[in-house]
Amino acid sequence: MFTKILIANRGEIACRVIRTAKKLGVATVAIYSDADADALHVSMADEAVHVGGSAPADSYLQQARILEAAKLTGAQAIHPGYGFLSENPEFANVCMTAGITFIGPPVAAIEAMGSKSAAKNIMQSAGVPVLSGYHGADQAIKVLKDAADTVGYPVLLKAAAGGGGKGMRQVHSAAEFDEGLAAAKREALSSFGDDVMLVEKYLLDPRHVEVQVFCDEQGNGVYLFERDCSVQRRHQKIIEEAPAPSMTPALRAAMGEAAVKAALAIDYVGAGTVEFLLSADGTFYFMEMNTRLQVEHPVTEMITGQDLVEWQLRVADGQTLPLTQAELQIQGHAFEARIYAEDPENDFLPAAGSLKLLQTPTESDHVRVDSGVSEGDDVGVFYDPMIAKLIVWDRDRELALRRLTKALAAYRVRGVTTNIEFLKSLSTSKAFSEGLVHTGFIEQHRETLFEQKNARVDHFLAMTMCYLVLSEATTINPRESTRSDAANPWRTDDNWRLNAACIHARTVIYQGEELDLTAEEIGTREHRRFKVKTPATTVDVDAELTGDQLKVTIEGRQQTACVFQSEGNISIFSSETAFDIETKPMFASEDATDDLDAGFVAPMNGTIIDILASPGQTVASGTTLLIMEAMKMEHAMQAPVDGVVGEIFYKIGDLVEGGATLLDFEASDYH
């Protein structure tokens, strides 16, 4: 076994590899960019080497610097994680030439599966079923469009060198083809440096089922069963489970054997994932093979009891597979939910900011949290906005799903917008509970998943008011006790009045609306009880505050919520949902600013990658004017109405800050 390895990656996967290496007594070397100098994976590793600037192209994709770091520290092997250089045959070859083990498959296997078009041809020859489509070398627009017309719409345009949903576009008609192809090629070139495309028939609402395979240098191959990764947004997985629901033993064996056949056809070694599309009638088609460890590998670990990173290290060391196919068994059911800094209400737009609050569920044999960040860290614009992976296990799907919903309710994140509430909604939806998943799940159930929950807003407002009163008391009462006349009621700061009710009044802002709240004290100092008046109703509340835990009884229902306050914002986390409210200062400034037209503004820090309009140009509503890239996503700025483009303030390649005005636009007059 190796004595020291370098992890050529960052974030949660780097931390994940380090944990297994420590368990095996293997020393670890981390690499880091400017932005990651204080990152968790850096502090976890035994050593760390700086490799460049914040952008991946300046650091985590710098092959020569990474190799030099391995030589400098005496690392015998490099684990690439996933993403970045994990499926780069050139990097694997450079490692081999330098005498450093690449913890991954042989160069030839990476090359064979690196091109999706070449992979389709190999799979066809090996007898693995594939979808109809075009996988040829001629990339003329007419050739690609003719292929789409022949296959029949809808089609999926995919980057031949792609992965992770990048460089992919659904095209539902011939009229959409040119624009879809241009966008897919742009994104592919940006993400992979290669804009070669393939065209394949797009199945409506199939399931996305992938099989974990492992092969060793001795020619042995096994499959560690399947994962269902159907629930996706932007072609990227958001929640996965293993085993796949409604999977028969016969179908599991057929898909598993096909996956091993695919791996052996290219003399594969190490961990790999063969992805299939599964139709409703039980037929399945090869989609692609990822020649690396997958983001969702923990669910496979949970149902097999195996450490796949340990398997990787042992196989890379020349050892045989730890288990045979007959020795592998499925035990229970597991889910993985990806906690992202993103806004589901705004088309899952990535978010950036500082993690002012980060509290995770308690880990156990049933609950696991894989993360690369800590409270106080920044979620920046240079990397994927995933905060963590929440993995749960239990003896069957129903119990595991209960574990998932309970663990999601225990998550506390503030400082960035997250998808946690959406994941709660998704995991508790009837269709998901019944296992009726497919790749169009979110779109099909959008109305249900995004509907406003029937949370009692008046109850949360009452809880907020009680928290404000009780938290103020924790600062007022100690000050009172130090006074020489502390017993004098006229000198207290708790709203006491002679022959009148003790009433507290505050103004808060909820969903942009100012609301006046009052709380009349009807209890005692030992038993705090309030009559809280909101704009809609009046409720009686028994309340007790201990630290950040607010215990209340409202209309006979007792519950405890966690409260987080930061810079005038209050978040109340209950077992049902999270409630955010802004407090208005008791003595606010009278100054006001004019309501300025922000124009077309950058949603976050990013790069201008294309400008499709010119100053003075008259455009129709919906016309794309420019495109910027941020957090690995394209954002198209479109004309909201017919109008004329004014001055454009940036050029292609410029870096822009979030909130910057990108161009002027004048709407046409309508009479």
pLDDT of residue 638: 85
Q: Is 144 helix (H, G, I), strand (E, B) or coil?
A: helix
Decide if 233 is catalytic. Answer: no
Label residue 119 by pLDDT band (50, 70, 90): confident
The dihedrals phi and psi of 333, each to the nearest 5 degrees, come to -140, 145
| CB neighbours of residue 379 within 10 Å | 25
pLDDT tens track for 517-552: 999 988 887 788 999 999 999 999 999 999 999 999
Q: Examine the pLDDT at 496 and tell me if it is beyond 80.
A: no
Q: SS3 for 323?
A: coil
d(CA 37, CA 39): 6
In the chain, % helix, strand, coil (3-state, to 5) comes to 30, 30, 40
25-39, 301-315, 518-532: segment of lowest average pLDDT: 518-532
| Domains, the chain | 4-103 (3.40.50.20), 132-201 (3.30.1490.20), 208-229+237-449 (3.30.470.20), 457-476+500-583 (2.40.128), 600-667 (2.40.50.100)
Where does 197-299 show beta strands of DSSP type E?
197-201, 207-215, 221-233, 236-242, 270-278, 284-290
Query: What share of the chain has pLDDT > 90, as a percent?
Result: 67
- In this prediction, residue 116 carries a pLDDT of 73
Q: pLDDT band for 452, please (50, 70, 90 cuts).
A: low
Q: What is the pLDDT of residue 131?
A: 85
- Tokens 């109008």 belong to 643
* Catalytically annotated residue among 169, 227, 292, 412: 292
Instruction: Say which range, 110-114, 154-158, 281-285, 602-606, has the weakest mean pLDDT.
Output: 602-606
At residue 598 the predicted structure's pLDDT band, cuts being 50, 70 and 90, is very low
- Average pLDDT on 504-519 reads 91
Contact 427, 405 (CB under 8 A): yes
Q: Which band of pLDDT confidence, cut at 50, 70 and 90, is reported for residue 501? A: low
The model's pLDDT over 179-203, given as tens digits with 9 standing for 90+, comes to 999 999 998 888 788 899 999 888 8
Three-state SS for 543?
A: strand
Contacts 24+ apart (CB under 8 A), 305-311: 305/331, 306/224, 307/20, 307/23, 308/212, 308/214, 308/224, 308/271, 309/16, 309/17, 309/20, 309/21, 309/79, 310/20, 310/23, 310/24, 311/214, 311/271
Q: What is the four-CA torsion angle of 134, 138, 144, 150, rounded to 10 degrees? A: -50
* Predicted pLDDT of residue 603: 75
Provide the pLDDT for residue 453.
62
pLDDT of amino acid 343: 93
pLDDT 10s digits, 388-411: 999 999 999 999 999 999 999 999
Query: Residue 292 — φ and ψ, nearest 5°?
Result: -165, 180
Report the C-alpha gap between 113 and 263 in whole angstroms: 10
Asked whether the predicted pLDDT for residue 649 surpasses 50, the reply is: yes
- Region at 318 (left for phi over 0; alpha for psi -120 to 50; beta for the rest): left
Q: What was the pLDDT predicted at 484? A: 53
CA proximity to 421, closest of 295, 581, 580, 562: 580
Token reading at 67: 């190799």
pLDDT of the residue at 498: 54
pLDDT of 628 > 80? The answer is: yes
Report the pLDDT value the prediction gives residue 671, as an integer from 0 to 100: 39
Q: How confident is the model at residue 294 (pLDDT cuts 50, 70, 90)?
A: very high
Residue 108, pLDDT > 70, answer: yes
pLDDT of residue 594: 37
Summarised one tens digit per residue, pLDDT across range 474-487 is 654 544 445 555 55
Give the percent of the chain with pLDDT over 70.
Answer: 92
What's the average model confidence in pLDDT over 620-638? 81
**Where does the pLDDT of residue 597 fall: very low under 50, low under 70, confident under 90, or very high at 90 and above?**
very low
3-class SS string, 602-626: CCCCEEEEEECCCCCCEECCCCEEE
Residue 354's nearest CA partner among 420, 286, 289, 414 is: 414
Higher pLDDT, 662 or 74: 74
Find the helix packing angle between 63-73 and 89-97, rounded to 10°: 30
Distance CA 256, CA 253 (A): 5
Q: Give the residue carrying structure tokens 């129903």.
A: 398
The whole-angstrom separation of Cα 665 and Cα 648 is 9
The predicted pLDDT at position 132 comes to 83
CA atoms of 245 and 228, how far apart (whole Å): 8
Question: Please, which pLDDT band fits residue 126 given cuts at 50, 70 and 90?
Answer: confident
Confidence of residue 495 (pLDDT cuts 50, 70, 90): low
Is the model's pLDDT at 322 over the cut of 80?
A: yes
Instruction: Please give the pLDDT value at position 637.
Output: 85
What is the number of H-type helices and E-type strands within the chain? 17, 39
Tens of pLDDT, residues 145-176: 999 999 899 999 999 887 667 889 999 999 99
* Mean pLDDT, the chain, whole residue set: 89
Q: Which of 27-36, 290-299, 571-580 comes out lowest in average pLDDT?
A: 571-580
Task: Give 369's contacts (C-beta < 8 A, 6+ positions apart).
Answer: 360, 361, 363, 388, 389, 390, 391
